Structure 1
Amino acid sequence: MASQVTTFLMFQGKAEEALTFYVSLFPGSALERIERYGPGEMGAEGTVKLASFTLAGREYRAIDSPVKHAFGFTPAISLFVDCESREELDAAFARLSEGGGVLMPLGEYGFSAAFAWVNDRFGVSWQLNLPFA
């Protein structure tokens, strides 16, 4: 049986920029550890070999893939965020959708007080939710 399951994000040269952006969005978030590729290693020197970070207290890991691949992130898997206030949701929506794409506009859909679904500029999909009080 697995002792821990952690979400793992694979970027292509933008991992550190994305992680720095993500940890700025939510309280209880931090870039915990970052290891970079050095000279002569498989990845481009200075890119992320392995990073650990937390978002609102949950652990994630990320890399910059040293191998180019023809796939990226898909909205079939997204990060679901229950926001504590409409202001938090509005701010997250504005920052995450900037340079990205809106899959479901910010609105009231009946299953919560407010909801939006976006792909950020790095291709990661986010569902932003304000639960009913």
Structure 2
Amino acid sequence: MIETLAFATTVVCVAGGLAVLGTGLAGRYRRGKTLRALAVVELALIVQAVADVTGLLTGDRPAELGTHLAYLATSLVLLPAATAWSANEDGRWAAVVIAVALLALAVVVIRAQTTWRPA
């Protein structure tokens, strides 16, 4: 697990989630602008997943392997699922769905980071 990437991803997810929530509540949410930022976050998550799998293949073992793999899989599917769910809307509810996904993703990344550490 790349600790600095996990930290940066968490910070970006929290900041992005709050920003999207703010724009949504103000009625100014625009899906097109948000998609670029979500793509960058997803790319960071893919890099993290590749680093994790590489670590597993080279012999590193997290304290809770099954839980860690579940968090890793969830981190990869959460944003695409939220994006697909809010695809047909450009209003407040779409912003809320994306904001909740980003805030939940911050928690998932922290939990994955925690389970990676040896017992």
User: Same fold by TM-score, threshold 0.5 exceeded?
Assistant: no
Q: Which has the higher contact order (CA 8 A, sep 6+)?
A: 2
Larger-gyration structure (1/2): 1
Question: TM-score, length-normalised on structure 2?
Answer: 0.30
Higher helix share: 2
